[in-house]
Amino acid sequence: MHTIPFALFSAIFHRLTSANACLVRVAVATTLGVAAVTGTPSAAVAQTATASENTQVHYHTVSVDGVHIFYREAGDRTKPTLLLLHGFPASSHEFRSLLPLLSARFHVVAPDYPGFGFSDAPSAAVFPPTFAHLAQVMGRFAQVVGLGKYTLYLHDFGGPVGFRLAAAHPEQVTGLIIQNANAYEVGIAPDMLKQMRARAEGPLDAKALAGLDQMLSPGGTKFQYLTGVRDVSAIDPTSYSVDSWVQALPEPHRIQQALLVDYYDNIRQYPAWHQYLKVHQPKTLITWGENDPIFLVAGANAYRADLPKADVRFLDTGHFALEEDCARIAEQIIAYFSK
């Protein structure tokens, strides 16, 4: 587990506790355990979030084959389960405001991957840092915490992790919520696709290593959070600041860098994922930050070919859509999966 310096803890705690009053009360069980709802939710979402005692978020750590995985959990376990898979370079912290908004209707679980957030950053001997192994760990996590069937929320890295889970065990997946998680080449910015292919072909030259260092830098992380948003002043800097702190630690840095190098393997898996979608037709809500500079609107629309019944929505925001439109996304999920 990572130990947060007291100065950083103080800064995070001050920022989180000085925010506007939350829509819901969430326990401070970890350093990052204070949720702040972005935007002004509708009366329907407010009533949903406050009508149940199950809006309380709980914070756990569980051993998954020797790797300690941190996760957030809320809601009644007898209700339908949502398994929330976060993006890069984030953690389950990106779902901090969404969990209490959904927990009156659903059982919601959001883990941190190895090398992200509060989970362990194990050695390569324990956890080879590839997406295939990452999906194996998350699949075992679901078993260990007793999840049977679940709807997957896929964001960014959560896409290749979740699609591997769904293709391997389609009987366990009751639906998909896809938020800026790509599964089509047309959905990747051309320059980014070129870099992914070059890293996969290797070897990594000085230019490729410099590109990786830029993506893993505080500036690269801030770029992902702020590009395409409507109002920069509405984006809490806690998220990208803590992500940058974790990335700077040697072992998380090694794991995240290796996953970026491995990313092109996901593209090789696209045909298998398309086949899964065509055959199984999971109930799917696609909610997409349309100003994302990395995963383009074309990627959201491409799902229509394989999922003609999918509900596709676009939001006037960027890659981390929950930072600006959490309440709106919660409304979409509740309406769509309550039908």
Catalytic residue, candidates 86, 107, 253, 319: 319
Q: State the DSSP string of 264-312.
A: HHHHHHHHHHHHHHHHH--EEEEEEETT-SSB-HHHHHHHHHH-TT-EE
| CA dist 318 → 179, 229, 290, 305, 324 (Å) | 11, 5, 6, 24, 9
Rounded Cα distance, 156 and 306, in Å = 19
Q: Is 319 a catalytic residue?
A: yes
Rounded Cα distance, 88 and 258, in Å = 12
Beta 173-179 vs 150-155: how paired, if at all?
A: parallel
Q: What is the dihedral of CA 90, 235, 151, 285, to 10 degrees?
A: -130
72 strand-pairing partners? 59, 110
175 strand-pairing partners? 151, 283
Catalytically active residues, by annotation: 319
